[in-house]
A and B are shown apart, each in its own frame.
Chain A
C-alpha cells in the first residue's frame, strides 16, 4: 500500500509541473498546445545529459532549459508574428516529437542513473507519514513548493496582477503601457521551463531510460489539468494526484490480472480526463469567471 501511494505521488509530478507552467501561460492569455513537444525535449535532453556526463544535476538543468528553448520558438511565432496559437502549439508538439526522436535515436533504451531520494532528517523516520511525505527526491519537494509559489505570485504580487491583467484584457493592458508581448513571452518561457522539467522527471525518476514519445500524452493531460483546476494553482496538485491515482490503479489492475481486458484498463486515464472535462466545463458561468478572457486571442499592438 505504501509503495502504491509513493508511486501515485511520483507519477503525478510530471503532469503537475507541466500543468503549473501552462496555468501561468494561460493566465497571461496564451494557449500553448505544445506542452507534449516541450516535455519530450526536456526528457530527451535530460537523458542524453545524464548518459554522457553522468551528472544528474546538469540533467535536470539542461532538461528544463531545453523545454524553455522550445517554448521560445512558440513565443516567437505565436506572440511576435501573431500566428494562430492552436495551430502553432500543434506544430510545436509535432516538431518536438520529431526532434526529440532524432537527437535521442542513439540513446534509446540505455539505462539511466536514477535521481536519489532525499530523506528529510527526523521527519522521514515517522512511521507511514515519513516515507510518504518526507522521503522523496528533490524534484518532488520542488514541485509542490512551486505550486504554492505560483499561487502566491499570481494572487499576491504586483507582477502577478499585471500578468492576470494582460490575460484578462490585452487591449486595456496595452493602453496602460504594459508590453503585452513581453509579459506573455515571459509566461510562455516559464511554461516551457516547467514542461521541460516535467519531461526530465520521466527518464530521471519514473522509467530510467529514454524512449521515443515516452510522454504518451502526458502533455495533453497537463492541458486538461489546467481546465480541471479552473485556472487556480492550488487545485493543480489535487488533479494531478487524482489522475495519477487512476493511472497507477489501472497498472496495478493489469499486474494483478483483473477480470477486464488490459486495453480497457489502459483507457481509464483518458476516459477519466474526458469525464473531468465534462464535469468542470458544464458549468458555463463558472468557466466564464475563471477563464482568462483573452485566452488564445490574437494581439496586434497599435491596431
Chain B
C-alpha cells in the first residue's frame, strides 16, 4: 500500500432511524492523498455514513477519528473547519443567488474578503473549472453547477473531499475531465472519498474500495484486484446475471411519429424544445440519452400530454393525431407513461395502492360507475399487480409512502404495463432503484417490446440506454439528434453528442 498515514477513520459507526439500522457497525479508513471508493446499492447506508462524517448526522454509537484523535463533529461548519469538504449529489446550491454568493455562504466569516472573486478565478484556472462568479445559479448547466460545488470546497483547502455520486450528471468526456481534477488534487495530498454505483469508475480512479450492504461492511479491497462483476456481487450479495437482456427483434404496424415538435421555454428554469422529429415502430426500443436539464422533462411532458402543443399533427400515433389530447385521453389510445418522479408525480404518497391504481385507471369503465369509485375493483387490480410484479409490501394495500423506492417503482411499472400498452414512454425507469428491482423492471420493459409495443426510454444512465435500446438518440439543449442503430454507434460518439459537439 502506498498510503500509510491514516487521515480519517470510522470505528463501529451505528446509526438507527426508528427501527431501521442505516449503519450497523461500519468500519472505514482513508489515508492521506488516497482516492477511496464507497460502494453499495441504494439504501446500503452510504449517504448516512458520509453525512455522519460531514457532521449532518450524529452516530448513535461508534467513533470518528480524525488525525489520530477521537472527535465529535458538531455540524457541517465544524467539519469544514477541520478540513472536510463535501460535494452533494443533489447540489446544496441556492438557485436564485449568484455563484459568488453561493460560494461565500460556505466560507467562514474570516475568509470573506473583497478578493474572493479573484481567488475563485485562481482556483478555476488552476483546475480548469471555468465559471462566471456573477451569473445566477439557475442559469448554469448541471455540469457548471457541480463546478461551483467543487470550487466552493477547494477554496477551503480541504484535506478530505467527499463526493456523492458526482458522475451521474456528467458526460463521459466531463467525467474524464473531473477525474483529472481529482487526481491532481490527490497528488497534492488531498484525500478523496468517492461514492458511486458505476463500477468501471471505481477501477479507473480509486485505489481502494469499501463496500456496504444493508448498513454493514462487506469488505475493503484494493480495486485493482477486482472486476466490475465481482464488485457487483459484493454489493448485491449474490451472483447476478447481466446477460439476461437478449431482445428478440420483431416489427409490427404500431407507429409513433413526432413531426417538428417545438415548445417555447416556460420560464428561466426550463428549456426550449426545438423542432423535434422522430418515428418509432412497434417492437423497437428508442433510448433518448442526455445530461439532465437538456429538455428531457419538457419532452416527457409533451409526450404525456401534461403540456399540450397547440398545433395539430405534431404527435401522431397509429394514424391518430394525439397532439392535443390530455394524458388520460392518450391512455385511452393504449399509451402508458412512467414519469421520473415516483412520489408526487407517478403516485400520491399519502394514498394507498388501490387509490394509486385508480389514479391512472379512472378512464376504465370498470373502475367507477356514474362517478362512484369501484373500490373493490381497484383493490383487486392493485393486489394483482403486487403479486405479479413481486412488489414487497408491509401489509395489505399500504400507503405508497411506506414502500421502498424499488418496490414502488415495480408497482408503477406493473400498473402501466398491466394495461398492455401499445406505446410505453418511461423516464429514468430504474433511477435510484436497487439492482434486483432494476433487473426485473428492465426485463418487463423488454418483454412488452417483444410483444409489439413501442418503447421510448429517456435516461441519463448511458449503461441503461445501451443495455435496452435498439435505437439511440441524444437530446442536447432542446434538440434531438438523429437516431443511431445501437450496433453501429459507440459510447464515445454518444458522449460527444451529450456534450453538445457533433
A and B touch in the complex (CB under 8 A): yes
Question: Which A residues touch B79, using CB under 8 A?
Answer: 177
Q: Which of A165, A175, A288, A293 contacts B56 (CB 8 A)?
A: A175
Least CB distance, B125 to chain A, in whole angstroms: 25
Tell me, rounded to whole Å, the shortest Cβ–Cβ distance linking A161 to chain B: 6
Q: Does A125 contact B (CB under 8 A)?
A: no
A172 contacts chain B at the CB level, 8 A cutoff: yes
Known: A158-B112, A165-B105. A176 touches B96 (CB 8 A): no
Please judge, given known A-B contacts A285-B268, A288-B267, A288-B268, whether A176 and B95 are in contact too, CB under 8 Å: no
Mark contacts of A271-303 with chain B using CB atoms, 8 A cut-off: 1 yes-contact digit, 0 otherwise.
Answer: 000000000000011001100010000000010
A293 to B96, CA, bound (A): 8
Q: How many whole Å from B72's CB to the nearest CB in chain A? A: 15
- Whether A165 lies near B94 (C-beta < 8 A) is yes
Chain B residues with CB below 8 A from A173, complex form: 94, 105
| Partner among A158, A176, A284 whose Cβ is within 8 Å of the Cβ of B92 | A176
Near B by CB (< 8 A), chain A positions 158-184 give 158, 161-162, 164-165, 168-169, 171-178
The reply to whether the CB of B250 lies closer than 8 angstroms to some CB of chain A is no
A-contact 0/1 string along B71-82, CB 8 Å cutoff: 000011111100
Q: Is B104 an interface residue (CB 8 A)?
A: yes
Count class of interface residues, chain A: 20 to 34
A176 touches B76 (CB 8 A): yes
Q: Which residue of A lies closest to B112 (CB)?
A: A158
Is B104 in contact with A176, judged by CB distance below 8 angstroms?
A: no
The B127-147 residues at the A interface (CB cut-off 8 A) are none
Closest to A170 in B: B94
B82-121 interface code vs A (CB 8 A; 1 in, 0 out) = 0000001011111111000100111001001000000000
Chain A min CB distance to B469 (Å)? 34
Residue of B nearest to A172 (CB): B92
Contact assessment for A158 and B268 in the assembled complex, using a CB-CB cutoff below 8 Å: no
Q: Which of A171-204 contact B (CB under 8 A)?
A: 171-178
Interface size class of B (residues with CB under 8 A): 20 to 34
Chain B: which residue is nearest A292 at the CB level? B96
Task: Check if A158 sits within 8 Å of B109, measured CB to CB.
Answer: yes
> Does residue B348 face the partner (Cβ distance < 8 Å to A)?
no
**What residues of B have a CB within 8 angstroms of the CB of A162 in the complex?**
105
B55 at the interface (CB under 8 A from A): yes
What is the CA–CA distance of A169 and B80 in the complex, to the nearest angstrom? 20
Partner of B55, one of A169, A171, A177, A289: A177
Which residues of A lie under 8 Å from residue B91 when comparing CB positions? 172
Whether B57 is near chain A, meaning CB under 8 Å from some CB there, is yes
A164 near B55 with CB under 8 A, answer no
Task: Verify B267–A176 contact, CB threshold 8 A.
Answer: no
> Nearest-CB distance from B215 to chain A (Å)?
17
Cα separation A165 to B269 with both chains bound (whole Å): 18
User: Which residues on the B side are within 8 Å of A158 (C-beta)?
Assistant: 104, 109, 112
Residue pair B57, A172 in contact (C-beta under 8 Å)? no
Q: What residues on B are CB-neighbors of A171 within 8 Å?
A: 90, 92
Chain B positions within 8 Å of A176 at CB level: 76-77, 92, 105-106
For A284, the chain B residues whose CB sits under 8 A away are 267
Which of B92, B95, B104, B269 contacts A161 (CB under 8 A)?
B104
The smallest C-beta distance from B85 to any residue of chain A, in angstroms, reads 11
A85 to chain B, nearest CB (A): 19
When distances are taken between beta carbons in the complex, the residues of chain B under 8 Å from A285 are: 267-268
B268 lies within 8 A of A289 (CB) = yes
The listed residue with most A CB atoms (<10 A of its CB), out of B56, B112, B268, is B56
**What residues of A have a CB within 8 angstroms of the CB of B269 in the complex?**
288
- Pick the contact of B96 from A168, A174, A175, A178 — CB < 8 Å? A168
A162 to chain B, nearest CB (A): 7
Contacts of A172 in B (CB 8 A): 91-94
CA distance A289 to B139 in the complex (A): 12
CB closest chain-A residue, reference B77? A177
B267 CB contacts on chain A under 8 angstroms: 284-285, 288
Partner of A164, one of B56, B97, B104: B97
Query: B105 and A169: CB pair below 8 A?
Result: no
B264: min CB distance to chain A, Å? 12
Which B residues touch A168, using CB under 8 A?
Answer: 94-97
Closest Cβ of chain A to B224, distance in Å, is 34
Measured CA separation A284–B268 after assembly (Å)? 11
Bound complex: CA A289 to CA B269 (Å): 10
Shortest distance between the CB of B101 and any CB in chain A (Å):
6
The winner among A164, A169, A174, A285 for most chain B CB atoms within 10 A is A169
A:58-93 near B, CB below 8 Å = none
- What is the CA–CA distance of A168 and B80 in the complex, to the nearest angstrom? 22
Contact of A161 with B96 in the complex, beta carbons under 8 Å: no
Flag B252-276 by CB within 8 Å of A: 1 or 0 each.
Answer: 0000000000000001110000000
A107 to B207, CA, bound (A): 79
Residues of chain A contacted by B92 (CB below 8 angstroms):
169, 171-172, 175-176
Could you tell me the distance in whole angstroms from the C-beta of B245 to the nearest C-beta in chain A?
36
List of B residues within 8 angstroms of A169 by Cβ? 92-95
A233 to B57, CA, bound (A): 37
**How far apart are A210's CB and chain B's nearest CB, in angstroms?**
42
Closest B-chain residue to A302, C-beta based?
B57
**Within the complex, which residue of A165, A175, A288 is in contact with B97, where a contact is CB–CB below 8 Å?**
A165
* Alpha-carbon distance A198/B435, docked complex (angstroms): 60
Interface positions, chain B 227-270, Cβ under 8 Å from A, are: 267-269
Q: Which residues of B contact A293 (CB under 8 A)?
A: 95-96
Give the CA-CA distance A171 to B80 in the complex, in Å: 18
Q: Once the chains are docked, how many angstroms separate the CA of A94 from the CA of B77? A: 41
| Contact partners of B56 in chain A: CB under 8 A | 174-175, 177, 302
Chain B interface (Cβ within 8 Å of chain A)? 55-57, 75-80, 88, 90-97, 101, 104-106, 109, 112, 267-269
5 residue pairs A–B, Cβ–Cβ below 8 Å: A165-B101, A165-B105, A177-B56, A177-B80, A288-B268
Q: A165-B97, A169-B95, A171-B92 provided; 19 other pairs, C-beta below 8 A?
A: A161-B97, A161-B104, A164-B97, A165-B94, A165-B101, A172-B91, A172-B94, A173-B94, A175-B76, A175-B88, A176-B76, A176-B106, A177-B56, A178-B105, A285-B268, A289-B96, A293-B95, A293-B96, A302-B56
3 shortest A-B CB distances, which residue pairs?
A177-B76, A175-B92, A172-B92
